[in-house]
Structure 1
Amino acid sequence: MKKLLFDLHTHTLVSGHAFSTLKENIEAARDRGLWAMGTSDHSSSMPGAPDPIFFGNYKAVPDELFGVRIFTGMEANISDYDGHLDMDDATLKKMDYVIASLHVPCIDAGTRAENTDALIGAMQNPFVKIIGHPDDDRYPLDYPRLVQAAAKAKVALEVNSSSTSPRTGRRNADKNIPIFLALCQDYGVPVIVGSDAHIFSAVGDFATAEAMLTRCNFPEKLILNTSRDGLRYVLNETQRQLW
């Protein structure tokens, strides 16, 4: 497999349950040889997460630090089965990218249909370009519906390295990721690999995700991290120079 060039799913102390600073994460990305890193702290309904003003001040973050290109985003929490997010559109519009995810502290698990409706509803938000960790049997999903909706909305599904870690709280990702990867291949839906790092040492650690992609014979052309142009698929429109 080609080298994966960027990691957009990383968290800092600001998320309330992570353990490293932005500087430490960027240095780890540099040490892993990543071309780019995105910082994507949790939005406000996650216990301990910051107020919207934090995300509104991303303009303070340089475009490049320590030789690593920096993108500023958010992991927004889905708050209901219609797919509404816990952040206003004015703030979402300022992000380079938005990941939308289901999280236990923010929404109760519903039926398979309700959980799937929640993710599909989030895809309708024009600022959402990534669905985070759609692999957790705590939130059972209808994968054919989900992947077909992602194809229509041009949203990437995440292959999350932390989901297959022995320490994960998620359930049955080893079973669920191959299911949606096969469907993504059938429908031509791209995936994005994310570390979901909550400590600097996990930034850019894609080992379990890469092993899963290799085991599933997933085509490199549908893995966005394998090229700089793949990043454009998940970036919101921006006036600044990308690279």
Structure 2
Amino acid sequence: MHPLQLDVHTHTIASGHAYGTITEMARAAADKGLSLLGITEHASGIPGTCADLYFANLPVVPRRMFGIDLLLGAEINILDYAGTLSMAPKLIDTLDLRIAGIHEQCYTFGTIEENTHAVLQAIRNPAIDIISHPDDGNCPLDYDILVLEAKRHHTLLEINNNALRHPETRKNVVKNALSILEKSKLHGAPVLLSSDAHYMTDIANIDHITPLLARTDFPDELVINYSAERFSAWLKENRARGKRA
């Protein structure tokens, strides 16, 4: 296992339930030796989060701080079984990073077929780069299909440390994360490791993920976080492929 060079799913005070500023998060990421930090605030629908105007004004923020590169984007809500997103395509197109995920505040959990169809639409959406925490057994998903389609559409499935920290609220989260890792290993699909940090000291923290990587003997070459250069190239390929709104 190599040290992380990037952590691209984090939140600041703008999300309404996190506690650091952009500057504080960037400084902490630099202090931890990262090369790249992504900040992806919650899109509308999550209580207390920022309005669309916040995202529209992100060009004013420098993209390099304290010697590290900064990517700014959003964690967009999947709203229904059709995969409808909670942000307009025109606004998504302005973001450095585009994460989509299911949150119980914005989505009614359905059958495994309904939920899988919803996430598949996000995976296949050319605007989306990453699927956040696809691990909650309260919202059952077919990981065989999702892993294959994520690889096919150049979309990353995330292993989320913050989700693994709360098994009391997320049904079968460890089992499901292991399943994603095992199937990703089988099919040669890269994954993204994320802290989902809501405070500066939690940036690059994967203490709950590390044992799962060991249990699955997960290949280093399938962990995209070990090379900022590789992740940047992956993101550039997404844009070249038309992964934009």
| Band of TM-score, shorter chain | over 0.9
Query: What residue number does 1:190 align with?
Result: 190
| Structure 1 residue 233 displacement after superposition | 2.0
**Alignment size in residue pairs:** 238
The alignment yields a C-alpha RMSD, in angstroms, of 1.5
Query: What residue number does 1:2 align with?
Result: 2
Report the secondary structure of 2:79's partner residue.
coil
Conserved? CA contact 2:167–2:174, under 8 Å? no
| Structure 1 residue 230 displacement after superposition | 2.7
Instruction: State the alpha-carbon separation in 1 of the partners of residues 157 and 201 from structure 2.
Output: 24
Q: Name the amino acid aligned to 2:9.
A: H
Report the secondary structure of 1:105's partner residue.
coil
Identity %: 37
| Structure 1 residue 214 displacement after superposition | 2.0
1:1-243 mapped onto 2 (5 Å cutoff): 1-166=1-166, 169-231=169-231, 232-234=233-235, 237=239
| Structure 1 residue 71 displacement after superposition | 0.6
Conserved? CA contact 1:130–1:234, under 8 Å? no
| Structure 1 residue 144 displacement after superposition | 0.7
Instruction: State the alpha-carbon separation in 2 of the partners of residues 187 and 155 from structure 1.
Output: 14
Instruction: State the alpha-carbon separation in 1 of the partners of residues 172 and 25 from structure 2.
Output: 28
| Structure 1 residue 228 displacement after superposition | 2.0
| Structure 1 residue 40 displacement after superposition | 0.2
Conserved? CA contact 2:18–2:198, under 8 Å? yes
Instruction: State the alpha-carbon separation in 2 of the partners of residues 55 and 169 from structure 1.
Output: 30
- Residues 60-94 of structure 1: per-residue CA shift (max 9 Å, x gap): 11121112210111100001111111001111111
Report the secondary structure of 2:192's partner residue.
strand
Query: What residue number does 1:241 align with?
Result: none
| Structure 1 residue 167 displacement after superposition | 7.2
Give the 4+ runs in structure 1 shifted more than 6 A: none
Instruction: State the alpha-carbon separation in 2 of the partners of residues 230 and 83 from structure 1.
Output: 29
Q: TM-score, normalised by structure 1?
A: 0.93
Flag structure 2 segments of 5+ consecutive residues without an equivalent. Answer: 241-245
Conserved? CA contact 2:167–2:173, under 8 Å? no
| Distance change in 2, residues 1:168/1:76 (3 Å) | farther
- Residues 30-79 of structure 1: per-residue CA shift (max 9 Å, x gap): 12111110010000121211111111111111121112210111100001
| Structure 1 residue 171 displacement after superposition | 2.4
Report the secondary structure of 2:209's partner residue.
helix
Q: Name the amino acid aligned to 1:237.
A: R
| Structure 1 residue 15 displacement after superposition | 0.8
| Structure 1 residue 183 displacement after superposition | 0.9
Conserved? CA contact 2:136–2:176, under 8 Å? yes
Report the secondary structure of 1:41's partner residue.
strand
Conserved? CA contact 1:42–1:76, under 8 Å? yes
Q: Name the amino acid aligned to 1:228.
A: A
Flag structure 1 segments of 5+ consecutive residues without an equivalent. Answer: 239-243
| Structure 1 residue 168 displacement after superposition | 6.4
- Residues 91-123 of structure 1: per-residue CA shift (max 9 Å, x gap): 111111111100010101111111111110111
Q: Name the amino acid aligned to 1:217.
A: D
| Structure 1 residue 149 displacement after superposition | 1.4
| Structure 1 residue 166 displacement after superposition | 4.5
| Structure 1 residue 24 displacement after superposition | 1.6
| Structure 1 residue 6 displacement after superposition | 0.5
Q: Name the amino acid aligned to 1:23.
A: T
Instruction: State the alpha-carbon separation in 1 of the partners of residues 230 and 135 from structure 2.
Output: 22
